[in-house]
Structure 1
Amino acid sequence: MSGLAGLLAGRTEPGIYRWHGAFDTADVQHAVEHAHWNFAWVDGWHHQDKKEFLDAAGQALGFPDNWGHTFDALGDCLADVTAGDSNGWVLLWDGWGTLARSDEQAFSVALSVLGGRVNADRGGPFAVLLRGEGPESMTGVESLD
């Protein structure tokens, strides 16, 4: 978990990263929470389209049931996600390549909205880990491996 360890220790800036760590999700969650970060997980293998991604992200991040389920609403709710007493947030998105391949526009908007929270000046650090394989054509997303 060396790339993740660097992020959790503050040696790597929070951002959106491709990550190929083949660790069980529960082990990743344990490592993140042990470092006093909040953990959220989106299972892109089972939530493959735009609507399913939005539903899963809202649930993972603890949004209220009536949060809106649109990308605009996702951005608004992400602005309210704070680190609280923790060091920040890690959102692990497994199977992201499914949405990236099937609906490139929705995936691009999702990354843009998540990136807006990553780069926010308030709310504490927020990192997104895109785990698994996806289109090689993605530019600007560094590897955390």
Structure 2
Amino acid sequence: MSDPADVLADLLAGRLPPGVHRWSSEADESEVVAAAARAGWACAVVDGARASSKYRFLAAVGRALRFPGTYGQNLDALADLLADVPGPIVLVWEEWGALAAAEPGTFAALVDLFSERAADPRRPGFVVLLHGRGPDDTDSPERRPDA
């Protein structure tokens, strides 16, 4: 995996394939949105600190990706609607470690679902950036295990 600090630049430049990636950066949301826009990508952000349960995350990702009001807020509905997300799009999942620690099975299912969507060559580019600390991180910001 690339240096997490360079992940966004590498993804937007096409040097790294779409998928789910750890990303460490001090960039604020407006800088990320602007960088994505310059590269022709849309950007959506989910505040994981406020979405530390499956239900809250599914609701938050639905808002971030502007899903219709009929969105069922379950994994099957998420998979169905991800197939129709126009792209390319970068989804920044801030403070993802909260859900990963609270519900590791849900987190793993979401990563699998996002990875499958990103790998679909028939769909526009889709990237999820896991920003912030994970449940296995130490106090050292240099320790960044793969997701």
Shorter chain as denominator, the TM-score bin is 0.7 to 0.9
How far did residue 96 of structure 1 move? 0.4
Alpha-carbon deviations, 1:77-122, whole Å to 9, x = none?
Answer: 0011122xxxx11110000000000011111111111111111122
Compare relative contact order (CA 8 Å, sep 6+) and give the higher one, 1 or 2.
Answer: 1
Alpha-carbon deviations, 1:57-86, whole Å to 9, x = none?
Answer: 111111101111001100000011122xxx
Partner of 2:140: none
Partner of 2:124: 124
Q: Which amino acid aligns with 2:68?
A: P
Q: Which amino acid aligns with 2:54?
A: K
Partner of 2:105: 105
1:69 is the counterpart of 2:73: yes
- For 2:59, which of 55, 58, 68 is the aligned residue? 55
Q: Which amino acid aligns with 1:133?
A: R
TM-score w.r.t. length of structure 2: 0.86
Partner of 1:25: 29
SS in 1 for 2:49: coil
Distance 1:3 1:95 in 2: 17
Distance 2:39 2:121 in 1: 22
- For 2:49, which of 45, 48, 64 is the aligned residue? 45
Question: Structure 1 68/140 Cα, relative in aligned 2: closer, same or farther at 3 Å?
Answer: same
Alpha-carbon deviations, 1:107-139, whole Å to 9, x = none?
Answer: 111111111111112221111100011033997
Q: Which amino acid aligns with 2:89?
A: W
Unaligned runs of 5+ residues in structure 2 are: 138-143
Distance 1:100 1:44 in 2: 10
- Percent identity over the alignment is 40
Given that residues 98 and 135 in structure 2 are in contact (C-alpha distance below 8 angstroms), is that contact kept between their aligned partners in structure 1? no
Distance 2:22 2:96 in 1: 10
1:78 is the counterpart of 2:79: no
Distance 1:82 1:62 in 2: 11
